[in-house]
A = this chain, B = another copy of it.
Amino acid sequence: MRSTDVGSDSIAGMADRKRGIAGSATLDDLDRALVAALQADGRESFRNIARRLNVAEGTIRNRYERLSDAGVLDVVGVTNPLALGFDAMAMVGVKTSGRPQQVAEALSGMEEVSYVVIVAGQFDLLVEVVCTDHAHLLEMTERLRALDGIVTTDTFVYLKLARQSFEHGQLPRR
């Protein structure tokens, strides 16, 4: 009955589609195609996407809501802050004494912090901060260093943003 051009064969029924623990959802071919479509153009109409993928518009709408609620997909306006008046961005490498997770949560609450990732290597955390000017950045790094659980910080001031992409090639199957 249904036939999508997304995968090689039918994906109907979604019987094989289950969600694991939060943060590790399982996507089928249709989900992947939807994600890819919105990565290319976040404002493409659901009807149009539905036509291309050979399903009903309501299906796309449902899938979108589900992915969105699950925190897997989010359609947002992105900018290049440096082209917008934020004249001091930086990546800060942080070494922590306690659990990095805890420090990461504290950092995530700060307005200037746009990106926090727990990493393995010379640092425990990488933190991207967006400031209006150098004075603001200085004040920000001082606030960081004062935080509980933070041992050292290394600041890399952004000179130029050369690429910012949200399409990650072929989505792997699960």
Binding site for B on A (CB under 8 A): 23-25, 27, 35, 37-43, 71-87, 90-91, 101, 104-105, 107-108, 111-123, 126, 130, 132, 154-166, 168-169, 171-174
Contact = CB atoms under 8 A, between A and B. Distances in A.
B73 A163 contact: no
Given A43-B42, A91-B126, A115-B165, A77 B80 contact: no
A63 to B, nearest CB: 12
A120 B85 contact: no
A76 B75 contact: yes
Contacts of A43: 42-43, 75
B77 A108 contact: no
